[in-house]
Amino acid sequence: MGSKTTRGRLITFEGIDGSGKTTQLKKSAQYLEQRGLEVVVLREPGSTKVSEKIRRILLDPTLEISDLTELLLYEAARAEVVEREMRPLLARGTTILCDRFYDSTTAYQGYGRGLDLSMVKKLHTIAVGDVRPDLTFVFDLPFATALTRRGKNPDRLESQSKAFFRRVARGFRELARSEPGRVKLINAKPSIEKIFSAVTRELDKLLRLS
């Protein structure tokens, strides 16, 4: 499992654009803080100066980026946040909630773009080493529903086709199937509160809060 050399926990929030990741992450942060945990929220790509600059490139709708470059930029942003933020925080015993992590890269660049999955996973290992999530939520929502929840002005990734998002969603489901201990597939169609009760069940189990 994750964080062998560390004491904290890393919990990641995954799913297609507009699936409710940030909504559930914010509620989870509040829930865990109320229970006395030291919580830090990070996002990927981002959360360091360099990673936020890389994020701006990655989401810029005016740029065309080749698939391999895109993959490497995500992994570069990830290596930076792992080294500068995650490792020190986990060593202090912090609970990290991260909005997207390497499963998004597997789903988008691997399943979505069609890059070789074993290469993608090898690059995750190079970028993160042993900093692996202890728990991952995948919010599963039909593309059409996610689209109605999203705002206007799509970023570079959001303006991809329906077929692309179908492949991405399938990728997330495959991940949940292949690592059921870590990756929890959460039906993201019901109300925010109903979804959150499924989330807290898993948080309680991991952190033995109940």
Nearer to ligand ATP, 134 or 140 (CB): 140
| Least gap, CB of 35 to ligand ATP (angstroms) | 22
Nearer to ligand ATP, 86 or 146 (CB): 146
The listed partner (Mg ion, ligand ATP, none) that binds 191, CB under 5 to 8 Å by sort, is ligand ATP
* 3-class secondary structure, 37: coil
Which stretches of the chain bind ligand ATP, using CB under 6 A? Answer: 15, 17-23, 149-150, 191-192, 195
**Torsion angle (degrees, nearest 10) of CA 167, 173, 178, 182:** 130
Nearer to ligand ATP, 6 or 19 (CB): 19
Burial of 163 (C-beta count, 10 Å sphere; 0-12/13-18/19+): exposed
The number of CA neighbours under 13 Å toward the Cβ of 187 is: 4
| Least gap, CB of 122 to Mg ion (angstroms) | 27
| Least gap, CB of 1 to ligand ATP (angstroms) | 25
Dist. CA 202–CA 197, nearest whole Å: 9
Dist. CA 116–CA 124, nearest whole Å: 13
Q: Is 22 in the site for Mg ion (CB under 5 A)?
A: yes
The listed partner (Mg ion, ligand ATP, none) that binds 156, CB under 5 to 8 Å by sort, is none
* 3-class secondary structure, 160: coil
| Least gap, CB of 169 to ligand ATP (angstroms) | 12
**Which residues bind to Mg ion, rule: CB under 5 A?**
21-22
